[in-house]
């Protein structure tokens, strides 16, 4: 099996940048590495849109805020059950899409929803002792994922690789 230079360079570049990112995260005491991988995965999956980076970063920030709001609502007794939480999530999702379609056209819904889900996932598994520090670390992890793993590798990653003939295929 012949492996193309692009596969080698992409793999080595992203692998080295991930190594550097991991050293930064561990050395800085940041423990939310998964958030960085989710963020950079979205960035690569969206086709590495460098021209939309600020839109994505704003959408990630809004998603974190949305996660904090949803988490708070889930601690209200009538909203914590199946029906209440389903209605709350439905309304919040409607608001995201409505805002993006009207007054916040600069936002990117998938980035917003990914950050919202990531925030909710982390919040549901840990106890927060400092909310300000939590939000700072979460957003910083997402930023580092995009800039250290994504931008530093500075290669457009193929959206799908056909493993039979090693040709990049864009769906």
Task: State pLDDT tens for residues 108-164.
Answer: 999 999 999 999 999 988 899 999 999 999 999 999 889 888 877 765 444 433 433
Distances from the Cα of 115 to the Cα of 4, 23, 56, 85, 141, angstroms: 34, 23, 10, 18, 11
Most confidently predicted of 44-48, 95-99, 142-146: 95-99
pLDDT class of 12 with cuts at 50, 70, 90: confident
Q: What mean pLDDT do residues 60-81 have?
A: 95
**Total domains in the fold of the chain:** 1
| CA atoms of 122 and 103, how far apart (whole Å) | 29
Task: Name the residue with higher pLDDT: 114 or 11.
Answer: 114
Domain span holding position 65:
5-169
CA angle centred on 44, ends 39 and 47, rounded to 5°? 130
Token pair in block for residue 96: 């995201």
3-state secondary structure of 142: helix
Q: What mean pLDDT do residues 60-65 have?
A: 98
Handedness of CA 40, 45, 47, 51 (dihedral sign): negative
């Amino acid at each position: 099996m012949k492996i193309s230079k692009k596969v080698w360079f992409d793999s080595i570049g992203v692998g080295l940048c991930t190594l550097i990112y991991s050293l930064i995260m561990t050395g800085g005491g940041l423990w939310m590495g998964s958030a960085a991988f989710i963020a950079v995965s979205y960035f690569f999956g969206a086709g590495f849109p460098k021209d939309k980076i600020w839109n994505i970063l704003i959408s990630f920030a809004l998603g974190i805020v949305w996660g904090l709001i949803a988490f708070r609502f889930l601690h209200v007794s009538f909203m914590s059950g199946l029906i209440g939480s389903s209605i709350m999530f439905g309304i919040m999702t409607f608001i995201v899409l409505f805002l993006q379609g009207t007054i916040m056209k600069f936002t990117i819904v998938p980035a917003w929803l990914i950050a919202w889900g990531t925030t909710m996932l982390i919040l549901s598994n840990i106890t927060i002792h400092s909310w300000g520090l939590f939000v700072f670390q979460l957003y910083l992890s997402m930023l580092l994922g995009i800039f250290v793993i994504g931008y530093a590798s500075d290669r457009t990653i193929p959206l799908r690789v056909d493993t039979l003939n090693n040709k990049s295929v864009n769906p």
